[in-house]
Amino acid sequence: MDVQEFREFGKAAVDYIADYFQTIRDRPVLPSVQPGYLDDLLPKEAPQTGESWQDVLQDVDRIIMPGLTHWHSPNFHAYYPTAHSFPAIVGEMMSAGFGCVGLSWMASPAYTELEVAMMNWLGKMLHLPEEFLNCSEGPGGGVIQGSASEVTFVCLLAAKERKVKELRQINPELTEGDIKGKLIAYSSDQSNSSVEKAGLLGSMPMRLLPADDKGRLTASVLLDAIEKDKAQGLIPCYVVANLGTTPTCAFDDLNDLGPVCNKEQLWLHVDAAYAGTAFSCPEYRHLLNGVEYAESFNFNPHKWMLVNFDCSAMWVKDARYLVEAFNVERIYLKDNHKGLAPEYRHWQISLGRRFRALKLWFVLRMYGVEGIQKHVRNQIALAQYFESLVRSDDRFQVCTSSMGLVCFRLKGDDRLTKNLLEKVHQRRNIYVIPGQFHQRFVIRFAVCSRITERSDIDYAWQEFLSQAEEIVPCSKGDIGEKKGIAAIGLCSAACEKICSEKSK
- Residues at the interface with ligand PLP (CB under 6 A): 80, 147-149, 192, 194, 242, 244-246, 271, 273-274, 300, 312
Q: Name the amino acid, one letter, at 63.
A: I
Residue closer to ligand PLP, measured from CB, 241 or 389: 241
DSSP β-bridge partners for residue 402: 405
Beta carbon nearer to ligand PLP, 299 or 385: 299
300 vs 467, beta carbon nearer ligand PLP: 300
Q: Which helix (H) or strand (E) holds 209?
A: strand 206-209
Q: How far is the CB of 274 from ligand PLP (least distance, A)?
A: 5
Taking the complex as a whole, how short is the minimal distance between the CB of residue 79 and ligand PLP, in angstroms? Answer: 6
Task: Output the CA–CA distances (angstroms, integers) from residue 193 to 153, 155, 199, 313, in the order listed.
Answer: 12, 16, 10, 19
Minimum distance from residue 350 beta carbon to ligand PLP (Å) = 15
CB of 310 to ligand PLP, least distance (A): 7
Compare residues 112 and 149 and give the one whose CB is closer to ligand PLP: 149
- H/E stretch holding 368 reads helix 356-391
Q: Closest separation between CB of residue 34 and ligand PLP, Å?
A: 27
Nearest-angstrom CA–CA distance, 174 and 166: 11
Cβ distance to ligand PLP smaller for residue 344 or 396: 344
CA–CA dist 315, 40 (Å, integer):
46
Q: How far apart are CA 266 and CA 235, in angstroms?
A: 10
Helix (H) or strand (E) holding 314: strand 312-316
Q: What is the rounded CA–CA span in Å between residue 196 and residue 191?
A: 8
CA-CA distances (angstroms) from residue 48 to 63, 124, 228?
A: 20, 53, 64
Rounded to a whole number of angstroms, the minimum distance from the CB of residue 251 to ligand PLP is 11
Find out whether 246 and 434 touch, Cβ atoms under 8 Å.
no
Q: Buried b vs exposed e over 441-451: b needs ≥16 C-beta within 10 Å?
A: bbbbbbbbbbe
Q: What single DSSP character describes residue 34?
A: P
Output 143 or 495, the one with its CB closest to ligand PLP: 143
Closer CB to ligand PLP, residue 75 or residue 149? 149
Residue 337 CB, nearest approach to ligand PLP (Å): 30
Nearest 5°: phi and psi at 91? -60, -45
